[in-house]
Amino acid sequence: MTTPTLFTMLMLGLFIAGTLASFTLMRLPSLLRSYTFSSVALGGLALALAYEKSAMHLIPVAVAVVAIKALLVPFVIRNMAEHSGASLRLSSSLRPSASWFVGGLVFTLGIFLALRSPLILAGEGIGQILVLLPISVGVILVGLVMMILRRDLLSQLIGFLVLENGIAAFSLSALGGIPVAIEFGVYSAVLIGAILMATLSHRVQALFGTHDTTHLNELTD
Amino acid sequence: MTFFLSVGILLIGSAVCLLPNMHGRMLRAIGLITSIITLVTMTWMLGPVLVGLTEGWQTSWWDVTPFASLVALLVVWLYACAMGVSFHYLAVEERKEILSLRHMRLYMVSVPLFVLSMLVAIFANNVGLLWVGLEATTLSTTLLVSFYGKKSSMEAAWKYIVLCSTGIALGLFGILVLGYAGAGAGLHEAEAFRMNLLQDVAGTMNPGIVMWAFVFLFIGFGTKIGFVPMHTWLPDAHSKTPAPVSAMLSGILLNVAFFTLLRFKVIVDGTLGNPDWTNQFFLFFGLFSILLAAFILLIQRNYKRMLAYHSVEHMGIMGVLVGLGPVGMVGFTIHMIGHALAKSTLFFGAGELLQRFESTKFYLVHDVMRRAPRTGFLFLIAALFLIGVPPSGLFLSEYILVGEGLTRSPVIALLALLGITMAGLGLSRHLFELLYSPVVPEEKQDASVETGNLAHTVMTVQLGAALVFGIWMLSGAGWEMVSQIAKSLTPL
């Protein structure tokens, strides 16, 4: 098992802080900023791994993470939101103060579950940045809960992206990344998915006059 | 080589529709021609593999097996049928000015990409590629769910993309965990993503990790299949797309997702030494899907949603069949074919009803047998096939469910039988009201006299195929071949 370098530790800290802030913040610009920070940190972790393991194929992956997740996706979402005239104030089932608590709790639960799972024990000797493995499970859980608790389309979209960041972190941690061709396929799918979701939220805003998901209640049995 | 030819045809067929100066009829003709050429080339390539005349082939990226060939042939068959129906369906919508040229272009660009992504998911030997293919099926159809631009369409499209993408993302996590187990068993980075190599080392992988992986794979791909309680997007999405696309979503996409999940099941079973643990998932979620769908079918008020809930029920039946072991797998294969043919025919019929009576609500559509006799008759026959009335192939698969189920899991078999009966009664009750009840003042009174069209021809051909298949299976002649195909998927 490798001891993480100072740079890796810094990136890990930024990754966690960005994720928890995404869970909590209630204004779109600040939410996108925190998501950008966590995505940059993910790119940094890929770079750290490329350096520590001499895995040069991770350098283009790191560049793609920053280009797509930290620049392109937030740009698309901000652009769509501004053009649709949506309120930048987002809505959630939780108050901001309670969000910090719930976010921290969910994240800790994710880490606890991962530590209790066979993933860690079996990871001895395989793991690339083993400490990232339980963190990635925590981030996945935070993204999932964020999608459930948030009540507007844009926050749900960012919740999905947070979840996807957790999965990308897991692939770095457990497997040292996935084959580059597949990695680009996955990022393309994420990018197209984000564009489609942003387009739909734009249309929903135009039709319903709001992004609030509580208005999407016509289809019932 | 023929496979890449089909890929090229689909890409060209999609790209050509982006050219300017195309009018509606030309776009529809290109869509139909592309689908027919794809059907011919894929049949040429896969037919011999399916009937056992030639061996399948495998590379690091692709794996062509008899079962994969069967699913792919169903895809291209339904694609050709759906484009045949679309030729007529879109012309009517264009004439009524419901659709513009922009809509038509979107339709004709998206559908070939949708078919291409299904084919990639079916034949991928690389699990990452498989995931990309499956996710692409969602991305290529999202704008078709929001096609008509109504509030309800937007709601359906949002649920569709969010729930399916989240589900598939969890499936990706399961794939990575499985790759992690493969790495632990000695596979290198790229090798840990190859299905055949994972299968080779399955016996030496860590069972705990593999079980974790399967839980996420089941939740993720189960969302795409429509297992209860991950099904909530399905009735909304399948009822809001144009009818020919609904036929493809319901008739074949669910089967493609099911097939991909079964490929992972084989690996997990190899690690655990037997299929008992994974079978429990299929039995439990299958039964749950049958029962919930059956209750909702009794109170359903919309015929397109009714058909969508029937898909949930049929995925449940297929889940229970998988859980019943090797004989159940033969039943699964029969059910998959029978369901694909009958359900797509019903959706084609639903499109005809919607265009004629301008509503999908039961209380606004009556006396179809008199006012639209062709559609009514074909709809009735397809519905009887769907509920398993002989000589439907579904009769045999449901007979296997009960017969094999009573031996292996009597409680589950009896509850499943109860659910299937309730669902059948629900369908029959609504169907006879739709076909024979007198017209009420609230509904559209001046529907024009029905004349035969391409949709009726396609429905007749589909029912003919379902009839031949049913008789072939019930006579016992097809059992050996279908068993061989099923065995190519689950050798255990």
Mean pLDDT computed over B66-74: 97
Q: State the helix-helix crossing angle for B326-357 and B66-95, rounded to 10 degrees.
A: 10
Band of the pLDDT at B414, cuts 50, 70, 90?
Answer: very high
- Mutating which of B165, B239, B310 best tests the A interface, going by the most A Cβ atoms within 10 A? B165
The tokens for B244 are 């020919």
User: Quick one: DSSP state of residue A72?
Assistant: I
A87 pLDDT band, cuts 50/70/90, is: confident
Average pLDDT, chain B: 94
Partners of residue A216 in chain B, C-beta under 8 Å = 154-155, 158-159
Alpha-carbon distance B371 to A110, whole Å? 60
**Cβ contact, residue pair B176, A174, below 8 Å:** yes
Against a cut of 0.80, is the pTM above it?
A: yes
Q: Given this model, what pLDDT does residue A122 score?
A: 62
Residues 230-249 of B with CB under 8 A from A: 235-236
Could you report the per-residue pLDDT of B355-376, keeping only the tens digit for each?
Answer: 999 899 998 999 999 999 999 9
Judge whether B192 is closer than 8 Å to chain A, CB to CB: yes
Instruction: Tell me, letter by letter, the H, E, C secondary structure of chain B.
Output: CHHHHHHHHHHHHHHHCCCCCCCHHHHHHHHHHHHHHHHHHHHHHHHHHHHCCCCCEECCCEEECHHHHHHHHHHHHHHHHHHHHHHHHHHHHHHCCCCCHHHHHHHHHHHHHHHHHHHHHHHECEHHHHHHHHHHHHHHHHHHHCCCCCHHHHHHHHHHHHHHHHHHHHHHHHHHHHHHHHHHCCCCCCHHHEHHHHHHCHHHCCHHHHHHHHHHHHHHHHHHHCCCCCCCHHHHHHHHCCHHHHHHHHHHHHHHHHHHHHHHHHHHHHHHCCCHHHHHHHHHHHHHHHHHHHHHHHCCCEHHHHHHHHHHHHHHHHHHHHHCCHHHHHHHHHHHHHHHHHHHHHHHHHHHHHHHHCCCEHHHCCCHHHHCHHHHHHHHHHHHHHCCCCCCHHHHHHHHHHHHHHHHCHHHHHHHHHHHHHHHHHHHHHHHHHHHCCCCCCCCCCCCCCCCCHHHHHHHHHHHHHHHHHHHHHCCCCHHHHHHHHHHHCCC
Per-residue pLDDT at A129:
61
CA distances from B398 to A45, B338, B439, B477 (A): 53, 11, 36, 18
Q: What is the mean pLDDT of residues B377-389?
A: 96
Binned at pLDDT 50, 70 and 90, residue B353 comes out as very high
How do residues A37-73 score in pLDDT, each as one tens digit? 999 999 999 999 888 888 888 898 899 999 999 999 9
Note the Cα B289 to chain centre separation in Å. 16
Write the CA distances from B384 to B78, B381, B389, integer angstroms.
20, 5, 6
What's the CA angle centered on B403, arms B402 and B407, to 5 degrees? Answer: 105
Q: Are B161 and A196 in contact (CB under 8 A)?
A: yes
B114, B138, B161, best to mutate vs chain A, most A CBs in 10 Å: B161
Could you read off the pLDDT of B438-491 as tens digits, one per residue?
888 887 777 777 888 999 999 999 999 999 999 999 999 999 999 999 998 876
The answer to whether A207 contacts B152, with C-beta atoms less than 8 Å apart, is: no
Highest mean pLDDT (candidates A143-152, A182-191, B73-82): B73-82
pLDDT digits (tens, 9 = 90+) for B315-331: 999 999 999 999 999 99
Give the per-residue pLDDT at A121: 66
- Checking if the pLDDT of A2 tops 70, the result is no
Q: Give domain limits for chain B.
A: 274-492
Q: Pinpoint the alpha helices (H) of chain A.
A: 6-24, 28-52, 58-64, 73-84, 96-116, 118-123, 132-149, 153-175, 180-208
B119 against A214, higher pLDDT: B119
Inform me whether the C-beta atom of residue B212 falls under 8 Å from chain A C-beta atoms: yes
More confident residue, B71 or A177: B71
Q: What mean pLDDT is predicted for residues B121-125?
A: 96
3-state DSSP call for residue A86? Answer: coil
Query: What's the mean pLDDT when you consider all of chain A?
Result: 87
Of the two residues B134 and B445, the one the predictor is more confident about is: B134
pLDDT tens readout for residues B11-43: 999 999 999 888 989 999 999 999 999 999 999
**CA A155/CA A23 separation, integer angstroms:** 9
Residue scoring higher pLDDT (A89 or B404): B404
**B388: pLDDT confidence band, cut at 50, 70 and 90?**
very high
pLDDT band at B85 (very low <50, low <70, confident <90, very high): very high
pLDDT at A4 > cutoff 80:
no
Q: What is the pLDDT of residue A125?
A: 47
- A117 contacts in B (CB within 8 Å)? 208, 212
Give the pLDDT band of residue B380 (cuts 50, 70, 90).
Answer: very high
Nearest Cα residue to B324 out of B364, B354, B287: B287
pLDDT tens column, A116-146: 888 876 655 454 567 888 999 999 999 999 9
What is the C-alpha to C-alpha distance for residues B120 and A62, in angstroms, rounded to an integer?
Answer: 27
Q: What is the pLDDT of residues B96-107, one digit of tens each?
A: 999 999 999 999
Judge: A177–B154 Cβ closer than 8 Å, yes or no. no
- Say which amino acid occupies B189: E
| pLDDT score recorded for residue B491 | 63
Binary contact (B132, A185; C-beta < 8 A)? yes
